[in-house]
Structure 1
């Protein structure tokens, strides 16, 4: 059976070029970058070259890039590091209700340590309202953390406006850009971003490596103690193969982004248009236009997302119903609930995230079997029969953003 991968927001395959380079730094060039001998100098040079490439991807300077183990560590370091370093100035943090758990749980931790956090609501497209943000700011606000793009529904936030507002108010602005790096052009200077987290495995590098951009001059303290690695901010021997791979992936992302995005967007738009046309009782989740190039998120009324996933899996298609980090839990997505969806509708959601390896054939196969699966599951649903009689064929016509 053909196996098709439509879960690129959960993780991407490692690029072959990246993997080959990593292998070299696992076997032949294995020195510790802190060692003074030739083996160490060789890997130190490779780490610094990778730093330059990662910096170039977001228009930062190399000394503003700090390597981490991924998005979760970057989010923790940004929030805790800034909060504890600036607590004399204030104790208030602003974030949104739809952040990744790496942000939400870190905020909950900070609340236990004397900080207050405002969790801003979002509109039905998962978009933050600038008015809400302005009203939430107090003289105690030291940090605003808003994700660049949502991992579940793909909505891209008004980052430039947020950065501008934060700058005017003298407040640090962090963005969890794990889903955006490699898919969205990002210029940290132009967007007035002070801190930005990224994770390698979301853009064809390996798992377990990422970076935190910290604008020069940001007051932050380390949360992990040990040797003086990463300019005293992140103790621990550097993951050289991972870092070198991250640099290569950043270089490839910068080079191919425009072409890759145009290709993936074409596939995504075909999926959205076809589902809306072929399947009744569906709702597109997320912003119709301002969304990640590969993100498709639908709620199918009267069925469970879980059964939809299992049926797709049996046909060789890997998709998801929310964020991979919480897929073990049966609670509906906090993102969909924050957008105002009911529990029932949120439970029927399907997330399809496309990548550069997907083909037109993959899409056609998916669009051929999905309507059959939906129909089969609905025919088994007691809710569907009564609803279909009561309602016109498409109760969600208001959700069609054509």
Structure 2
């Protein structure tokens, strides 16, 4: 099998699995229990919290373990908004945020909140001037992703953070696709809260991280909750956290080297595509793009057909964000960058990871050529 859907999920690393097994054997106590087994789990949990904080240059008290990126996004926004209702009812976001953000903000609009959706250019980047102009004296928070999950566009979160800081607007950043691949410094970028997902970086599914700057006021969405300092209920899964922290450590350690390797694979892929006679377009920002994610459109050929043909050849790609699969509407990102609905339907996404090789790319390009050949044959009949 050739797997090229790492932006959807990654396989757990052997090291993460081993860490989970060891923790499950020796750290099975409830971290809230007062006996020795509970104390051991609690101590380990605090060590992990402290370590995670160092990776983002944040504060230990601001680190909360959650069930994943979606819950982190929801709880960050919900908890902050609950505590800051007095500041207004205006929220800023972008037209290309993850579904977990859009779905929640849509619900808020039904209850009286006003949401401004910043449009993006043809490459998926917002206008900093538009951001400035959108801020009002009623703006509470802005939720702007670091990296887009479909075309890999990187937002200038440092400049965004400065603008929001100057205007006293809370900054939430979805870092699910970027953490472990790009450096993240919450103090340098003035990020007040962020979300991370374990299964995007060879850790376990069902575990993520939400960070909220301890200086930011938030209110628990769950009355009476004691776990995670009242942030979310439920016994904390110590073995999964052990696996996550192991995966994170490996990702951070190899971050720079792996970035260069994936960038070289991306260039190789694009060179191979140039050898094809059919118009295949890479949807990317020319300068600010995470190399791991490659958005591709094959003119007039539906992305679902391309994906299924690749699947028949044991090649795993996707037609966009996994959280949006099943919806009838085309990619939100494709529409936002100016594609028509028909053009958006031709979109497929490849995403590379630590097991991707040049041989894999050769097979993917060959599969694309196969799809094109079939299409041209049908068209000429």
Relative to 1, partners in 2 of residues 1:36 and 1:109: Cα closer, same or farther, differing over 3 Å? same
8 Å CA contact 2:87–2:138 kept in 1: the answer is yes
From 271, 274, 277, the equivalent of 1:273 is: 271
**Which residue number in structure 1 is paired with residue 287 of structure 2?**
289
Within 5 Å, which residues of 2 pair with 1:199-238?
A: 199-238=197-236
8 Å CA contact 1:98–1:334 kept in 2: the answer is yes
State the 1:248 CA deviation: 1.4
**Which residue number in structure 2 is paired with residue 255 of structure 1?**
253
Q: Does 1:322 align with 2:320?
A: yes
Q: SS state of the match for residue 254, structure 2?
A: helix
Q: CA-atom RMSD, angstroms?
A: 1.5
State the 1:104 CA deviation: 0.3
State the 1:128 CA deviation: 0.6
TM-score (ref. length: structure 2):
0.97
8 Å CA contact 2:225–2:231 kept in 1: the answer is no
Within 5 Å, which residues of 2 pair with 1:248-397?
A: 248-381=246-379
Q: How many residues align?
A: 381
8 Å CA contact 1:29–1:42 kept in 2: the answer is yes
State the 1:4 CA deviation: 0.5
Give the gaps of 5 or more residues in structure 2.
none
Q: SS state of the match for residue 76, structure 1?
A: helix
**Which residue number in structure 2 is paired with residue 244 of structure 1?**
242
Superposed CA offset, 1:112-151 (max 9, x none): 2221111111111011111111111111001011000000
8 Å CA contact 1:155–1:292 kept in 2: the answer is yes
Q: SS state of the match for residue 367, structure 2?
A: helix
From 175, 178, 182, the equivalent of 2:176 is: 178
Superposed CA offset, 1:372-398 (max 9, x none): 2222124324xxx69xxxxxxxxxxxx
Superposed CA offset, 1:176-197 (max 9, x none): 1100101111111111111011
Within 5 Å, which residues of 2 pair with 1:97-246?
A: 97-246=95-244
For 1:378 and 1:89, the matched residues in 2 are separated by 58
**Which residue number in structure 1 is paired with residue 83 of structure 2?**
85
TM-score (ref. length: structure 1):
0.92
Q: Does 1:54 align with 2:49?
A: no
**Which residue number in structure 2 is paired with residue 76 of structure 1?**
74
Relative to 1, partners in 2 of residues 1:352 and 1:228: Cα closer, same or farther, differing over 3 Å? same
8 Å CA contact 2:220–2:230 kept in 1: the answer is yes
After the TM superposition, list the runs of 4 or more consecutive aligned residues in structure 1 that deviate by more than 4 angstroms. Answer: none
8 Å CA contact 2:268–2:358 kept in 1: the answer is no
